[in-house]
Protein backbone atom coordinates (compact mmCIF):
# COMPACT_ATOMS: atom_id res chain seq x y z
CA UNK A 1 0.00 0.00 0.00
CA UNK A 2 2.12 2.85 -1.30
CA UNK A 3 -0.24 5.65 -0.50
CA UNK A 4 -3.17 6.66 1.57
CA UNK A 5 -6.04 8.73 0.28
CA UNK A 6 -5.16 7.73 -3.27
CA UNK A 7 -2.36 10.29 -3.66
CA UNK A 8 1.38 9.80 -3.83
CA UNK A 9 2.72 10.64 -0.38
CA UNK A 10 6.05 10.25 1.36
CA UNK A 11 6.68 8.64 4.70
CA UNK A 12 4.99 9.92 7.82
CA UNK A 13 7.31 11.66 10.26
CA UNK A 14 6.76 10.65 13.89
CA UNK A 15 8.03 13.62 15.83
CA UNK A 16 7.49 11.85 19.15
CA UNK A 17 10.08 13.03 21.68
CA UNK A 18 12.48 14.48 19.07
CA UNK A 19 12.32 17.88 20.78
CA UNK A 20 14.00 16.27 23.82
CA UNK A 21 17.00 14.32 22.43
CA UNK A 22 18.49 13.58 25.85
CA UNK A 23 15.19 12.11 26.97
CA UNK A 24 15.14 9.85 23.91
CA UNK A 25 18.22 7.97 25.15
CA UNK A 26 16.63 7.32 28.54
CA UNK A 27 13.34 6.32 26.92
CA UNK A 28 15.10 3.91 24.58
CA UNK A 29 16.61 2.02 27.53
CA UNK A 30 13.37 2.08 29.55
CA UNK A 31 11.17 1.00 26.62
CA UNK A 32 13.58 -1.76 25.59
CA UNK A 33 13.71 -3.21 29.12
CA UNK A 34 9.93 -2.90 29.44
CA UNK A 35 9.39 -4.66 26.12
CA UNK A 36 11.69 -7.56 27.04
CA UNK A 37 9.92 -7.93 30.40
CA UNK A 38 6.55 -7.84 28.60
CA UNK A 39 7.61 -10.64 26.26
CA UNK A 40 9.03 -12.72 29.10
CA UNK A 41 6.24 -12.17 31.62
CA UNK A 42 3.28 -12.65 29.31
CA UNK A 43 4.86 -15.64 27.58
CA UNK A 44 5.43 -17.19 31.02
CA UNK A 45 1.76 -16.77 31.97
CA UNK A 46 0.62 -18.32 28.67
CA UNK A 47 3.03 -21.24 29.14
CA UNK A 48 2.05 -21.81 32.78
CA UNK A 49 -1.67 -21.68 31.99
CA UNK A 50 -1.16 -24.26 29.23
CA UNK A 51 1.09 -26.67 31.14
CA UNK A 52 -0.52 -26.62 34.61
CA UNK A 53 -3.92 -28.35 34.71
CA UNK A 54 -4.85 -26.49 37.91
CA UNK A 55 -4.90 -23.29 35.85
CA UNK A 56 -7.36 -24.69 33.30
CA UNK A 57 -10.13 -22.48 34.65
CA UNK A 58 -12.16 -19.59 33.14
CA UNK A 59 -10.10 -16.98 35.01
CA UNK A 60 -6.83 -18.20 33.52
CA UNK A 61 -8.38 -18.75 30.11
CA UNK A 62 -9.18 -15.04 30.01
CA UNK A 63 -5.81 -14.17 31.54
CA UNK A 64 -4.11 -16.14 28.75
CA UNK A 65 -6.09 -14.14 26.20
CA UNK A 66 -5.02 -10.92 27.94
CA UNK A 67 -1.36 -11.95 27.94
CA UNK A 68 -1.45 -12.89 24.25
CA UNK A 69 -3.23 -9.62 23.49
CA UNK A 70 -0.59 -7.60 25.38
CA UNK A 71 2.19 -9.39 23.49
CA UNK A 72 0.62 -8.45 20.16
CA UNK A 73 -0.32 -4.93 21.29
CA UNK A 74 3.18 -3.95 22.37
CA UNK A 75 4.76 -5.63 19.34
CA UNK A 76 2.60 -3.51 17.05
CA UNK A 77 4.06 -0.35 18.62
CA UNK A 78 7.38 -0.84 20.43
CA UNK A 79 9.74 -2.04 17.62
CA UNK A 80 8.93 1.04 15.54
CA UNK A 81 9.23 3.25 18.62
CA UNK A 82 12.66 1.81 19.47
CA UNK A 83 13.83 2.29 15.89
CA UNK A 84 12.79 5.96 15.94
CA UNK A 85 14.28 6.60 19.38
CA UNK A 86 17.61 5.05 18.40
CA UNK A 87 18.36 6.85 15.15
CA UNK A 88 17.87 10.21 13.47
CA UNK A 89 15.18 8.82 11.14
CA UNK A 90 11.74 9.38 12.67
CA UNK A 91 9.75 8.00 9.78
CA UNK A 92 7.19 5.29 9.16
CA UNK A 93 5.99 4.27 5.72
CA UNK A 94 2.35 4.91 4.74
CA UNK A 95 1.66 1.17 4.67
CA UNK A 96 3.39 0.72 8.04
CA UNK A 97 1.31 3.52 9.52
CA UNK A 98 -1.92 1.97 8.22
CA UNK A 99 -1.01 -1.46 9.63
CA UNK A 100 -0.03 0.02 12.99
CA UNK A 101 -3.24 2.05 13.15
CA UNK A 102 -5.54 -0.88 12.37
CA UNK A 103 -3.73 -3.45 14.52
CA UNK A 104 -3.09 -1.33 17.62
CA UNK A 105 -6.63 0.07 17.72
CA UNK A 106 -8.11 -3.40 17.24
CA UNK A 107 -6.05 -4.84 20.09
CA UNK A 108 -6.66 -1.87 22.38
CA UNK A 109 -10.42 -2.09 21.81
CA UNK A 110 -10.34 -5.83 22.41
CA UNK A 111 -8.60 -5.28 25.74
CA UNK A 112 -11.39 -2.91 26.88
CA UNK A 113 -14.02 -5.59 26.29
CA UNK A 114 -11.85 -8.43 27.62
CA UNK A 115 -11.22 -6.63 30.93
CA UNK A 116 -14.99 -6.16 31.27
CA UNK A 117 -15.54 -9.88 30.70
CA UNK A 118 -12.89 -10.67 33.31
CA UNK A 119 -14.76 -8.45 35.80
CA UNK A 120 -17.95 -10.41 35.06
CA UNK A 121 -16.03 -13.64 35.67
CA UNK A 122 -14.89 -12.35 39.08
CA UNK A 123 -18.46 -11.28 39.88
CA UNK A 124 -19.78 -14.78 39.21
CA UNK A 125 -16.90 -16.35 41.18
CA UNK A 126 -17.53 -14.24 44.29
CA UNK A 127 -21.29 -13.60 44.19
CA UNK A 128 -22.48 -16.87 42.58
CA UNK A 129 -19.85 -19.43 43.64
CA UNK A 130 -22.24 -22.41 43.60
CA UNK A 131 -23.25 -21.65 40.01
CA UNK A 132 -19.78 -20.67 38.80
CA UNK A 133 -18.92 -23.82 36.85
CA UNK A 134 -22.41 -23.96 35.34
CA UNK A 135 -22.33 -20.33 34.19
CA UNK A 136 -18.70 -20.06 33.11
CA UNK A 137 -18.50 -23.30 31.15
CA UNK A 138 -15.79 -23.59 28.45
CA UNK A 139 -18.02 -22.98 25.42
CA UNK A 140 -19.50 -19.83 27.00
CA UNK A 141 -16.01 -18.55 27.87
CA UNK A 142 -14.84 -19.11 24.29
CA UNK A 143 -17.89 -17.22 23.02
CA UNK A 144 -17.16 -14.29 25.33
CA UNK A 145 -13.52 -14.19 24.22
CA UNK A 146 -14.66 -14.32 20.59
CA UNK A 147 -16.98 -11.36 21.18
CA UNK A 148 -14.07 -9.38 22.65
CA UNK A 149 -11.80 -10.03 19.66
CA UNK A 150 -14.55 -9.40 17.09
CA UNK A 151 -15.58 -6.13 18.75
CA UNK A 152 -11.98 -4.91 18.49
CA UNK A 153 -11.81 -5.81 14.80
CA UNK A 154 -15.17 -4.16 14.11
CA UNK A 155 -14.18 -0.96 15.89
CA UNK A 156 -10.90 -0.56 14.04
CA UNK A 157 -12.49 -1.30 10.66
CA UNK A 158 -14.91 1.57 11.22
CA UNK A 159 -12.76 4.16 13.00
CA UNK A 160 -9.47 3.62 11.18
CA UNK A 161 -11.10 3.54 7.75
CA UNK A 162 -13.02 6.78 8.38
CA UNK A 163 -9.90 8.51 9.74
CA UNK A 164 -7.70 7.44 6.82
CA UNK A 165 -10.24 8.81 4.34
CA UNK A 166 -9.75 12.35 5.67
CA UNK A 167 -7.81 14.58 3.23
CA UNK A 168 -4.49 15.69 4.68
CA UNK A 169 -3.30 18.13 1.98
CA UNK A 170 0.27 16.84 2.19
CA UNK A 171 0.55 17.05 5.98
CA UNK A 172 2.66 14.14 7.25
CA UNK A 173 4.24 15.35 10.51
CA UNK A 174 2.63 13.42 13.38
CA UNK A 175 3.17 14.98 16.80
CA UNK A 176 3.29 11.55 18.33
CA UNK A 177 5.39 8.37 18.44
CA UNK A 178 2.79 6.11 16.77
CA UNK A 179 -0.06 6.25 14.29
CA UNK A 180 -3.15 6.63 16.48
CA UNK A 181 -6.64 7.96 15.72
CA UNK A 182 -6.51 11.34 17.56
CA UNK A 183 -3.04 12.11 16.19
CA UNK A 184 -4.04 11.16 12.63
CA UNK A 185 -7.14 13.37 12.84
CA UNK A 186 -4.91 16.35 13.61
CA UNK A 187 -3.40 16.04 10.12
CA UNK A 188 -6.73 16.66 8.37
CA UNK A 189 -7.12 19.90 6.43
CA UNK A 190 -10.94 19.85 6.63
CA UNK A 191 -13.46 20.28 9.42
CA UNK A 192 -13.27 17.16 11.63
CA UNK A 193 -16.16 17.93 13.99
CA UNK A 194 -18.15 14.95 12.71
CA UNK A 195 -15.11 12.70 13.20
CA UNK A 196 -14.66 14.00 16.75
CA UNK A 197 -18.30 13.17 17.50
CA UNK A 198 -17.83 9.69 16.03
CA UNK A 199 -14.69 9.20 18.13
CA UNK A 200 -16.50 10.37 21.25
CA UNK A 201 -19.37 7.92 20.64
CA UNK A 202 -16.90 5.08 20.09
CA UNK A 203 -15.14 6.11 23.31
CA UNK A 204 -18.46 5.97 25.18
CA UNK A 205 -19.15 2.46 23.89
CA UNK A 206 -15.69 0.93 24.22
CA UNK A 207 -14.18 2.86 27.13
CA UNK A 208 -16.77 4.48 29.36
CA UNK A 209 -19.41 1.73 29.08
CA UNK A 210 -16.91 -1.03 29.98
CA UNK A 211 -15.64 1.12 32.88
CA UNK A 212 -19.23 1.53 34.12
CA UNK A 213 -19.92 -2.21 33.84
CA UNK A 214 -16.69 -3.00 35.69
CA UNK A 215 -17.61 -0.56 38.48
CA UNK A 216 -21.07 -2.15 38.76
CA UNK A 217 -19.50 -5.63 38.92
CA UNK A 218 -17.12 -4.60 41.67
CA UNK A 219 -19.86 -2.73 43.49
CA UNK A 220 -21.84 -5.98 43.64
CA UNK A 221 -18.71 -7.85 44.70
CA UNK A 222 -18.05 -5.37 47.54
CA UNK A 223 -21.67 -5.71 48.69
CA UNK A 224 -21.34 -9.49 48.74
CA UNK A 225 -17.95 -9.38 50.51
CA UNK A 226 -19.29 -7.06 53.23
CA UNK A 227 -21.76 -9.77 54.21
CA UNK A 228 -18.95 -12.32 54.64
CA UNK A 229 -17.90 -12.67 58.27
CA UNK A 230 -14.97 -15.03 57.68
CA UNK A 231 -11.58 -13.26 57.50
CA UNK A 232 -10.22 -16.03 55.27
CA UNK A 233 -13.13 -15.62 52.85
CA UNK A 234 -12.54 -11.85 52.87
CA UNK A 235 -8.90 -12.35 51.91
CA UNK A 236 -9.76 -14.85 49.20
CA UNK A 237 -12.37 -12.55 47.66
CA UNK A 238 -10.06 -9.54 47.73
CA UNK A 239 -7.15 -11.60 46.42
CA UNK A 240 -9.10 -12.92 43.46
CA UNK A 241 -10.27 -9.43 42.46
CA UNK A 242 -7.42 -7.17 43.56
CA UNK A 243 -5.06 -8.01 40.69
CA UNK A 244 -7.73 -7.45 38.06
CA UNK A 245 -8.82 -4.16 39.60
CA UNK A 246 -5.23 -2.84 39.52
CA UNK A 247 -4.84 -3.84 35.86
CA UNK A 248 -8.16 -2.17 34.99
CA UNK A 249 -7.07 1.07 36.66
CA UNK A 250 -3.69 1.09 34.90
CA UNK A 251 -5.25 0.57 31.46
CA UNK A 252 -8.49 2.56 31.58
CA UNK A 253 -7.07 5.56 33.44
CA UNK A 254 -4.52 6.80 30.85
CA UNK A 255 -6.44 5.58 27.77
CA UNK A 256 -9.67 7.33 28.79
CA UNK A 257 -7.75 10.56 29.41
CA UNK A 258 -6.41 10.38 25.85
CA UNK A 259 -9.60 9.49 24.01
CA UNK A 260 -12.16 11.51 25.96
CA UNK A 261 -10.33 14.80 25.41
CA UNK A 262 -8.01 14.26 22.41
CA UNK A 263 -7.65 18.00 21.67
CA UNK A 264 -6.20 18.67 25.10
CA UNK A 265 -3.97 15.59 25.14
CA UNK A 266 -2.37 15.68 21.73
CA UNK A 267 0.46 17.98 20.86
CA UNK A 268 1.48 18.05 24.53
CA UNK A 269 4.10 15.94 26.28
CA UNK A 270 1.52 14.84 28.85
CA UNK A 271 -0.54 13.10 26.16
CA UNK A 272 2.51 11.30 24.79
CA UNK A 273 3.51 10.05 28.22
CA UNK A 274 -0.03 8.87 28.97
CA UNK A 275 -0.04 6.92 25.71
CA UNK A 276 3.42 5.56 26.50
CA UNK A 277 2.13 4.38 29.86
CA UNK A 278 -0.85 2.34 28.63
CA UNK A 279 0.91 1.02 25.50
CA UNK A 280 4.28 0.09 27.04
CA UNK A 281 4.28 0.21 30.84
CA UNK A 282 0.88 -1.37 31.56
CA UNK A 283 1.53 -4.55 29.49
CA UNK A 284 4.81 -4.90 31.40
CA UNK A 285 3.15 -4.57 34.80
CA UNK A 286 0.23 -6.92 34.05
CA UNK A 287 2.15 -10.22 34.40
CA UNK A 288 4.01 -8.91 37.45
CA UNK A 289 0.73 -7.96 39.14
CA UNK A 290 -0.89 -11.31 38.40
CA UNK A 291 2.12 -13.38 39.47
CA UNK A 292 3.15 -11.43 42.57
CA UNK A 293 -0.40 -11.21 43.94
CA UNK A 294 -1.63 -14.62 42.80
CA UNK A 295 -0.93 -17.79 44.79
CA UNK A 296 -2.16 -20.05 41.97
CA UNK A 297 0.32 -18.67 39.44
CA UNK A 298 3.20 -18.75 41.95
CA UNK A 299 2.26 -22.31 42.85
CA UNK A 300 2.14 -23.33 39.18
CA UNK A 301 5.58 -21.77 38.64
CA UNK A 302 7.03 -23.68 41.60
CA UNK A 303 5.54 -26.95 40.34
CA UNK A 304 6.96 -26.35 36.87
CA UNK A 305 10.44 -25.58 38.25
CA UNK A 306 10.27 -28.64 40.50
CA UNK A 307 9.28 -30.80 37.54
CA UNK A 308 12.20 -29.47 35.50
CA UNK A 309 14.63 -30.19 38.35
CA UNK A 310 13.34 -33.77 38.66
CA UNK A 311 13.76 -34.30 34.93
Q: Answer whether 0.95 is exceeded by the pTM.
A: no
pLDDT digits (tens, 9 = 90+) for 264-288: 545 467 778 888 888 998 999 888 8
Residue 210: Cβ-neighbour burial (10 angstroms; 0-12, 13-18, 19+): buried
pLDDT digits (tens, 9 = 90+) for 189-235: 888 888 888 888 888 888 889 989 999 998 888 888 877 776 776 77
Question: What's the pLDDT at 250?
Answer: 86
Rg of the Cα atoms in the chain = 21
35: Cα separation from own chain's centroid: 14
Residues with Cβ < 8 Å from 69, sequence gap 6 or more? Answer: 107, 110, 111, 114
Amino acid sequence: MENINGTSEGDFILLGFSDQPQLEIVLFVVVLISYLLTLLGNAAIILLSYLDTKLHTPMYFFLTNLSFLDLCFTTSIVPQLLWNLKGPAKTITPSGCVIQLYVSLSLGSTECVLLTIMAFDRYVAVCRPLNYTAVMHPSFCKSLAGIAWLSGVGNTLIQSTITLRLPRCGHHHLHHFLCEIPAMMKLACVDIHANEVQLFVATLVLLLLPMALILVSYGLIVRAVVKIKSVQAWRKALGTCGSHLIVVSLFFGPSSAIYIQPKRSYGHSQGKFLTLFYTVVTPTLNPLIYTLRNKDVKGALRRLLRREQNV
